[in-house]
Amino acid sequence: MRPGRHRGFGATGVTVDDTDGEGNGGDVSENPNGGGGSGAAGARDCGGTDGPSGWGFETRSIHVGQEPDEATGALTVPIHLATTFVQPAPGEHLGFEYSRTGNPTRAALERCVAGLEGAAHGLAFASGMAAEDAVLRLLRPGDHVVLGADGYGGTYRLIATVYGERGIDWTAVDMTDEQAVAASVGPATRQVWLETPTNPLLTVVDIAAVADVAHAAGAAVVADNTFATPYLQNPLALGADVVLHSATKYLGGHSDVVGGFVALNDGDLAERLAFVQNAAGAVPAPFDCYLLLRGLKTLGVRMDRHCDNAEAVAAFLDGHPAVAEVLYPGLASHPGHDVAVRQMRRGGGMVSAVLDGGEAAAVAAVRATRVFRLAESLGAVESLIEQPATMTHLSVAESPLAVDPGLVRLSVGIETVGDLLADLDQALA
Ligand code: PLP
């Protein structure tokens, strides 16, 4: 089945024009194909010129920003390792000057991901945290940030510790409680950070509702779309101002590249972020950009299989006697299921579960799986399992983001589903 046809999930989310009848994401913006500006400016201007508007998701992921090389006809984007580019005259260049400022392989990636998010502008970074850091560098001492009280521990650590110690105020709130969000924003609030579904509790946050509250207070909404990917959810179309990705996860998809991404429509904000990207210099290497471009080409088909397998895993765990609670947005019993149906195309590839036996049971289970490898990270073809309390979320122990030690998080890969279920069955036995 195609996305948008699953277990009550809405046709395609909110703004998608599914004119191709395939239900595969369709056209999410006026400029769905990205493209436009070349070279150094490509990071700042992805306004579409390449490809007919209305291209479907998979066509965009394979072609946007990736025209055959003009000089050689090479079909795939070359890895441009040159650090510098020869100029015809001082003050003139052919689109690129210096590889930190702009690189042709990176420009292709920036155009492609921007096109997938329906964004006018895209900027690639050396990691998801570098992307987050660039957005936070727009703040000044005395500014206030609101973030979710459930989410990736590294985001909390960066805001609360690194920026908190430098004069940025912050409040962590339950993002599913609109009144709590409204009560937490004030005149100094500049950014409201949300993640949906969240890491590791898979909480679904209503992006449009949070955007209404934040915008009424004059704050920008920064949405981490790492778990959903642009295949399943497009936060900009739902009212977010900035979309963030740990490209290390589903965008790359093969556990072999660390990267980050920011996509947005506001040209002034994009200029300021491009300035930070160049001034602070946390840019990805050309080879990493190539790996991400390669991963993106199969994002749609991978996500379909991730969702198929995750649905089967969630259903299996849901009926298992060793499991106290299954957290998966695709389950009708999930508290955020209705919102997920409105804003996502399917439930995604991540499943969390609280085990009946608490921490001891969680530790025993993650040590006993064979196909699910015990490791941090997520979003790749390989299935992974972890215990967030002592692994990915150790940095938030004792904080508002601390997680239950009986929780296990599964990144459901694209292996044969029967092998995944059999593996969990023996590990929980
Ligand atoms: N956002 C989310 C939701 C994440 O899960 C992660 C990492 O796990 C990050 C951001 C940070 O990304 P990176 O590890 O690429 O720096």
Q: Which atom of ligand 1 is nearest to the CA of 199?
A: 3
Tokens of 177: 């409680």
Cis peptide bond prior to 187, omega within 30° of 0: no
Q: Which atom of ligand 1 is nearest to the CA of 259?
A: 15
Distances in whole angstroms, Cα of residue 349 to Cα of each of 403, 410, 414: 20, 8, 9
> What is the CA(126)–ligand 1 centre distance, in A?
12
Question: For 266, which DSSP code?
Answer: -
pLDDT at position 52: 61
Tell whether ligand 1 has an atom less than 6 A from the beta carbon of residue 198: no
pLDDT of 354 strictly over 70: yes
Tokens of 2: 């195609």
Instruction: Name residues whose C-beta falls within 8 Å of residue 53's C-beta, 6 or more positions apart in sequence.
Output: 27, 30, 31, 32, 33
Share of the chain above pLDDT 70, in %: 88
Tokens of 128: 């998801």
pLDDT at position 376: 96
Question: For 212, which DSSP code?
Answer: H
pLDDT of 80 strictly over 50: yes
pLDDT band for position 10 (50/70/90)? low
pLDDT band for position 38 (50/70/90)? very low
pLDDT band for position 193 (50/70/90)? very high
Q: What's the chain's length in residues?
A: 429
Tell whether ligand 1 has an atom less than 6 A from the beta carbon of residue 226: yes
pLDDT digits (tens, 9 = 90+) for 241-286: 999 999 999 999 999 999 999 999 999 999 999 999 999 999 999 9
Share of the chain above pLDDT 90, in %: 85
> What is the CA(59)–ligand 1 centre distance, in A?
27
Average pLDDT, the chain: 90
Mean pLDDT, residues 72-76: 97
pLDDT of 99 strictly over 60: yes
pLDDT of 102 strictly over 80: yes
Q: Is the dihedral of CA 122, 127, 133, 134 positive or negative?
A: negative
Mean pLDDT, residues 109-123: 98
| CATH code at 300-428 | 3.90.1150.10
pLDDT digits (tens, 9 = 90+) for 365-414: 999 999 999 999 999 999 999 999 999 999 888 888 889 999 999 999 99
Mutate to test the pocket of ligand 1, among 150, 155, 229, 249 (most ligand atoms within 8 A of CB): 249
CA distance 240 to 193: 10
Domain boundaries, the chain: 300-428
> What is the CA(252)–ligand 1 centre distance, in A?
12
Instruction: Name residues whose C-beta falls within 8 Å of residue 139's C-beta, 6 or more positions apart in sequence.
Output: 145, 163, 168, 190, 191
Closest CA relative to residue 298, chosen from 246, 252, 248: 252
pLDDT at position 51: 56
Catalytic residue among 60, 249, 345, 409: 249
Distances in whole angstroms, Cα of residue 379 to Cα of each of 133, 169, 333, 406: 22, 32, 24, 22
Mean pLDDT, residues 154-177: 97
90/16: higher pLDDT: 90
pLDDT at position 49: 35
Tokens of 148: 């979710």
pLDDT at position 7: 55
pLDDT digits (tens, 9 = 90+) for 167-188: 999 999 999 999 999 999 999 9
Mean pLDDT, residues 17-25: 30
pLDDT of 240 strictly over 90: yes
pLDDT at position 382: 98
pLDDT of 105 strictly over 50: yes
